[in-house]
């Protein structure tokens, strides 16, 4: 039997079937195109339609932004490219650009705004440097003390005794932060360690270590008091503030005050004490359920009535207070979300160790909750940055207010689109950077517990 089959097999000559065609290319550029853009009839149609749409938008945008651009002109009338048609008047944007950023701030004083910004950046950079210690103190001093320095630099004029002290404290803090960061970067030890070393207190008992540090702080304070003694800036009343500068001032104060207020409100909302909880819930719900513009109108019309006789509140201050109240209510909800993410065991463990309420919140719960909250805080700041444009409706000249002012300037009358586009680009860059940063934080911080 076997022999026969073997013979049969040998006699029938083996003919292989024709090989299958190679599978469609799934790698390389062509494979990528095939898989991502032309995967079936519907997908191909969508791709072609999208390409047409992109092409249409790009051609029109190019024509508007570049082909018709007029870069040099003294007024809107010179921007005509034909007797009936206006070109894209970038000259107007160029002419107004400083105003977009600084409002009506006097040109010769603009350096004050710039240097305050640089001081803030230098103050805050150490927070992002891994080698620097005491980051929390640096950040807190930046948020709590810097505003006095900035306020004086922006406003100028005479200093009363309170501002004199606060400004010199701020200058002292700034100097200390810079020295501290440099020492950390190059030697790896912070400023307090250096002071203790140099004064020879290192081998004394720990209790005495604070004295040389306090002495150093006093010296720095007196030094900066002496430093700023002769410095006097010209007064720049706040109706001259404007543009992106004002937008940043309002949203910056809003976010800086919203965080502590939001934490208190959120803790109050979760408190076991009924009166406190009810008041906090009422505040949060009231300010979250009405639009910001109504709060701003309320601020401009009602705050002057609330104040005792003889007190005055200007429009900017009312707007800032309104923005702070609004931001605090929203921040409270962000903080509440962060607190809810902390497992109950953490609260119970803290209590079991015998920590008081504020200790357990400050050392156990808040540090963990803050980690969850940072992405939301950043997006909250982004929202506030965008919402600050509303102050232009109550007549403040923020970035959008300046944009609207351009089209009312007699020599640039009717110039809308180009300034609006510029403002949109400025806001987009700011918000896009912030949202990308918050996504980065979400990837690196938020999931920390899961891994």
Partner 1 sequence: MSGNTPSSSRGVNAFINDERYRSIFYQVVVFGLFIWAVLSLIENTQINMATRKMAVGFDFLKNTAGFAVAWTPLDYKPSDSYLMVYWVGIINTLILAGISIVLATFLGFIVGILRLSKNWLVAQIASWYVEVLRNTPLLLQIIFWYLGAFANLPRPKQSIEILGFESLVLNNRGLYIPKPQPEDLFWLTAVALVVAVLIAIALNKRATRKQQQTGKYISTLIPTVLIVFGLPLVVFVLTGMPLEWELPALKGFNYRGGGFVLPAMLAVMVALVVYHSAYAAEMVRAGILSVSKGQTEAASSLGLKQSFVMRLVIIPQAMRAIVPPMISLWMNVVKNSSLAIAIGFPDLVSVFMQTSLNQSGHAVEIVALVMAFYMTVSLTISACLNVYNKKIQLTER
Residues that bind partner 1 (CB under 8 A): 36-37, 39, 43, 46-47, 50-51, 53-54, 272-276, 279, 285-286, 288-294, 297-298, 301-302, 304-309, 382, 386-387, 389-390, 392-393, 400, 404, 416-417, 420, 423-424, 427-428, 431-432, 435
**Residue 232 vs 433, nearer CB to partner 1:** 433
65 neighbors 88 (Cβ within 8 angstroms):
yes
**Residue 275 vs 447, nearer CB to partner 1:** 275
**What is the nearest approach in angstroms of partner 1 to the Cβ of residue 92?**
15
Cα–Cα distance for residue pair 373/355, rounded to 1 Å: 23
Six-digit token string for 421: 């586009």
Six-digit token string for 18: 């024709």
Cα–Cα distance for residue pair 262/282, rounded to 1 Å: 14
Q: Which residues contact 332 (CB under 8 A, 6 or more apart)?
A: 261, 262, 263, 265, 266, 269, 280, 284
Six-digit token string for 351: 């209590």
Six-digit token string for 76: 């809107």
Cα–Cα distance for residue pair 368/339, rounded to 1 Å: 9
**Residue 132 vs 250, nearer CB to partner 1:** 250
Cα–Cα distance for residue pair 431/62, rounded to 1 Å: 24
Cα–Cα distance for residue pair 283/250, rounded to 1 Å: 21
**What is the nearest approach in angstroms of partner 1 to the Cβ of residue 251?**
11
**Residue 188 vs 414, nearer CB to partner 1:** 414
**Residue 168 vs 388, nearer CB to partner 1:** 388
295 neighbors 329 (Cβ within 8 angstroms):
no
Dihedrals phi, psi of 229, to nearest 5 degrees: -55, -45
Q: Of all helices (H) and strands (E), which one includes residue 173?
A: helix 161-187
Please provide the size of the chain in residues.
451
**What is the nearest approach in angstroms of partner 1 to the Cβ of residue 295?**
9
**What is the nearest approach in angstroms of partner 1 to the Cβ of residue 47?**
5
**What is the nearest approach in angstroms of partner 1 to the Cβ of residue 288?**
8
**What is the nearest approach in angstroms of partner 1 to the Cβ of residue 378?**
13
Cα–Cα distance for residue pair 72/312, rounded to 1 Å: 45
**What is the nearest approach in angstroms of partner 1 to the Cβ of residue 223?**
41
How deeply is 437 buried, as exposed, middle or buried, from its count of CB atoms within 10 A (0-12, 13-18, 19+)? Answer: middle
**Residue 253 vs 299, nearer CB to partner 1:** 299
**What is the nearest approach in angstroms of partner 1 to the Cβ of residue 172?**
34
**Residue 197 vs 359, nearer CB to partner 1:** 359
**Residue 38 vs 194, nearer CB to partner 1:** 38
């Amino acid at each position: 039997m076997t022999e026969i089959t073997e013979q049969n097999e040998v006699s029938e000559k083996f003919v292989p079937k024709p090989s299958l065609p190679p599978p469609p290319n799934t790698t390389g550029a062509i494979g990528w195109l095939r898989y991502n853009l032309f995967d079936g009839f519907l997908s191909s149609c969508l791709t072609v339609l999208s390409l047409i749409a992109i092409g249409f938008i790009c051609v029109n945008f190019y024509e508007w932004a570049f082909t018709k651009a007029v870069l040099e002109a003294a007024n809107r009338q010179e921007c005509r490219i034909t007797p009936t048609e206006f070109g894209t008047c970038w000259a107007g944007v160029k002419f107004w650009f400083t105003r977009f950023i600084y409002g009506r701030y006097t040109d010769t004083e603009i350096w004050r705004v710039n240097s305050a910004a640089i001081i803030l950046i230098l103050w805050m950079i150490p927070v992002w440097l891994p080698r620097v210690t005491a980051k929390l103190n640096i950040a807190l001093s930046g948020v709590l003390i810097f505003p006095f320095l900035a306020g004086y630099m922006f406003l100028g004029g005479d200093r009363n005794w309170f501002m004199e002290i606060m400004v010199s404290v701020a200058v002292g803090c700034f100097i200390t932060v810079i020295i501290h960061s440099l020492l950390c970067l190059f030697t790896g030890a912070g400023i307090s360690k250096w002071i203790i070393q140099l004064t020879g207190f290192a081998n004394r008992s720990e209790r005495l270590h604070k004295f040389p540090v306090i002495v150093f702080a006093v010296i720095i304070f007196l030094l900066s008091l002496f430093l700023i003694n002769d410095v006097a800036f010209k007064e720049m009343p706040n109706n001259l503030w404007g543009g992106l500068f004002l937008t940043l001032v309002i949203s910056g104060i809003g976010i800086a005050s919203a965080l502590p207020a939001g934490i208190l409100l959120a803790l109050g909302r979760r408190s076991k004490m009924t009166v406190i909880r009810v008041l906090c819930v009422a505040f949060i719900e009231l300010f979250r359920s009405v639009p910001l513009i109504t709060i701003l109108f309320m601020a401009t019309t009602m705050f002057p009535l609330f104040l005792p006789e003889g007190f005055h509140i200007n429009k900017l201050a009312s707007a800032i207070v309104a923005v702070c109240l609004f931001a605090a209510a929203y921040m409270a909800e962000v903080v509440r979300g962060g607190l809810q993410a902390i497992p109950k065991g953490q609260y119970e463990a803290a209590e079991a160790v015998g920590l008081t309420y504020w200790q357990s919140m400050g050392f156990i719960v808040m540090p963990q909750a803050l980690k969850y909250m940072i992405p939301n805080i950043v997006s909250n700041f982004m929202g506030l940055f965008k919402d600050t444009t509303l102050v232009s409706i109550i007549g403040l000249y923020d970035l959008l207010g300046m944009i609207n002012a351009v089209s009312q300037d007699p020599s640039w009358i009717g110039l809308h689109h180009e300034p609006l586009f510029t403002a949109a680009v400025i806001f987009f860059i700011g918000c896009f950077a912030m949202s990308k940063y918050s996504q980065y934080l979400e990837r690196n911080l938020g999931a920390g517990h899961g891994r």
